[in-house]
Structure 1
Amino acid sequence: MYGGGNTFEATKAEDLEQEDAVKLAEFEARIAQGEKIEPDDWMPRLYRMQLIRMIEQHAHSEIIGALPEGTWITRAPGFRRKLALMAKVQDEVGHAQLLYSAAETLGKSREEMLTDLINGKSKYSNVFNYPTYTWADSCIISWLIDAGAIVNQMANSKGSYGPYCRALERICAEEAFHLKYGHDSVVFMATGSPAQRQMVQEALNRWWSQIMTFFGPSDKLSVHTETLMRWKVKMASNDECRQQYLDMYVPKIREIGLTIPDPHLHKNEQTGQWEYTEPDWEEFRKVINGDGPCNAERLGVRRMAEERGAWVRLALKNPTAKYVRPLA
């Protein structure tokens, strides 16, 4: 079982010195050959713990990420948009279930993971701690945040841990539909009335800095990337994913007449790299650590859901007992 309990911390590098040298060499040879590691296979403790941290955070991000868009289900413009958004939110929660199952194969229970989320011990993507003021905010998330997720997840689906890769393949297939839905919603507004175009431009202005931090801190600030890439848990660095995203989506954003709110954004013709205003990593760190505009609200909703659903979980474990459903 997972040995970290509710006080999970990254293992220090010197722990590797305590691993069986022969097994470690065999393990790394398998990864170098492109083999998948399965739950019953031997793996270094650091590999297991980094996987738990990464998959758990991904699962939390899916379940918390459903909240900013979910608030717009009742206010979506028209029945068609309402149905599409409802299906998307349902998919996101389903993605969380797949990922929690993948993390459980490494020895940490779902109950521990959700407890760590609610208590603020486990992290999730900082972008979901910002408010969605208008319908256009929801549309920008559906298109451009989900696009960033696909860039990350498509790369990592080629990684080394079998259960995570298989979950990502399923998730990416569904995210492709989310992306099309979001793109259609943004294009509809960007090519609509002046008020619609202004609304979606303002939403892009609000979300661009969050989009740029979505891939995580720059490589020079990241403390996990080197280890994750060494064992092919992560197949591209944060900055590589950010550059790939800019290559793909800057032209698409400009094509529909929207202005990216970064006056320094341009492609360096000599290097072929996009140059951009460095995100505010101090704000990023503050939000990740629980001090963002909506951190308390998001975790409050998650806590309420856990409390209200406790009787269902107890009933499933003991169907013959009598339980009183709590008042809403």
Structure 2
Amino acid sequence: MADVVSFEALSEEEKHEHFMKRIETGEKIEADDWMPEEYRKVLIKLISMHGISEIMGALPEKEWVPKAPTLKRKLGIMAKVQDEMGHGQLLLRVAEDLMKPYGKTREEIMQDLFSGDLKFHNVFHMEAPTWGDAGLIGWLVDGAAIITQTNMLGASYGPYARALKRICAEEVFHAQHGEAIIIALAEGTPEQKALIQESVNRWWDSLLMFFGPGDASTTGTSKQDITQKYGIRTKTNEELRQDFFTKYVPRILSLGIKLPDTTMYFDEEKEMWVYQQPDWNRFKEIVKNNGPKSKERLRLRELSYTNNEWVREALSPDPVAG
């Protein structure tokens, strides 16, 4: 009790200094611990967006559940959709605990999505018109997600780090699922292999945008600086994008697929990939729900949320019965 009283007696500046020392020594911050408002708010925004993106990210593949070419593929993609929805619910629980001081709930997170106040990941606004797209989402989109999420496995916020451990383990299977689809197409007919090239062409800019703008496109203190400052992640957007290139460009080329960016090359001296920047203005428009499938998927999600309200009510504690 003496320790609690002594901590409460500290000034805000002293509390912040104590907090930063905990992070620097690798100690995990828990939901009920004191934390700076800046830390809490950046976590709420990051985890809410991550959770909503997992849910919205299931929708492009959900479209392929009834259209998958075989029963085995149908079962595989159905299981993947279920996993993604589960990831979203897990993360929204983590975000909800952080929002308790503000009296905010998961219900309000969903309403923020429907009102446009909460964004979801740019890749999930895009079209997936062919089976090649279904494979590419698992192979490259989930591959990009693994690179981003494993970078935060050591996050200073304990509940998020623990949730990511489970999520990343399942995402590895998702990436293998997507890769299996792509390899089967690559070994198939010329028409099937062409589906991969079309999908890579269609998704290339979105994959580059997945990691967010690089350092040169920001001024002052950026969000990525804040997450690094508080030990939530260790690498910048550009470092993560370079990791993605290093892992996946050789794999793409090994399948005989051409890169949409014909100028791209690895600079041996700088030890980095040189590539054409995507249109970041387009990125800003997409995440404002002006992408090819943004409004359609939001309507689908809102309809599903409304129609299943009775389930949430049935599972909620009865306020009368206590």
Alignment TM-score, normalising by the size of structure 2: 0.91
The CA deviation at 1:43 is 0.4
Q: Residue 206 in 1 paired to residue 202 in 2? A: yes
Equivalence for 2:232: 233
Q: Within 5 Å, give how 1:119-198 maps onto structure 2.
A: 119-198=115-194
Equivalence for 1:72: 64
3-state SS, counterpart of residue 37 of structure 1:
coil
The CA deviation at 1:319 is 6.9
Distance 2:194 2:77 in 1: 22
Q: 8 Å contact 1:190–1:258 — kept in the other structure?
A: no
The CA deviation at 1:34 is 1.1
Q: 8 Å contact 1:70–1:86 — kept in the other structure?
A: yes
Distance 2:289 2:81 in 1: 23
3-state SS, counterpart of residue 38 of structure 2:
helix
Task: Note the alpha carbon deviations across 1:106-139, whole angstroms, 9 max, x for none.
Answer: 0241111111011111011011101111111111
Equivalence for 1:53: 45
Distance 1:204 1:121 in 2: 30
Task: Note the alpha carbon deviations across 1:196-251, whole angstroms, 9 max, x for none.
Answer: 01111111110111111001111233531111110012221110100011111111
Equivalence for 1:20: 12
Q: 8 Å contact 1:154–1:172 — kept in the other structure?
A: yes
Following TM superposition, the consecutive aligned residue runs of length 4 or more in structure 1 with deviations greater than 3 angstroms are: 317-321
**Structure number with higher helix proportion:** 2
Distance 1:171 1:318 in 2: 28
Distance 1:26 1:221 in 2: 33
Q: 8 Å contact 1:267–1:273 — kept in the other structure?
A: yes
The CA deviation at 1:320 is 11
For 1:203, the aligned partner's letter is S
Distance 1:193 1:153 in 2: 35
Distance 1:140 1:192 in 2: 16
Distance 1:151 1:313 in 2: 34
Distance 2:42 2:90 in 1: 18
The CA deviation at 1:316 is 2.8
For 2:66, the aligned partner's letter is T
Equivalence for 2:270: 271
3-state SS, counterpart of residue 274 of structure 1:
strand
Distance 1:181 1:81 in 2: 9
Task: Note the alpha carbon deviations across 1:51-100, whole angstroms, 9 max, x for none.
Answer: 00000000010000000011000000100100000000100000001101
For 2:239, the aligned partner's letter is E
For 2:124, the aligned partner's letter is F
CA 1:320/1:224 → structure 2, altered by over 3 Å: closer, same or farther? Answer: closer
For 1:232, the aligned partner's letter is G
Root-mean-square deviation (Å): 1.5
Percent identity for Structure 1 against Structure 2: 43
Distance 2:36 2:207 in 1: 34
**Is there any run of 5+ residues in structure 2 with no aligned partner, and where?**
1-10
Q: Within 5 Å, give how 1:217-256 maps onto structure 2.
A: 217-222=213-218, 223-256=222-255
Distance 1:148 1:313 in 2: 33
Distance 1:315 1:204 in 2: 44
Alignment TM-score, normalising by the size of structure 1: 0.90
Equivalence for 1:287: 286
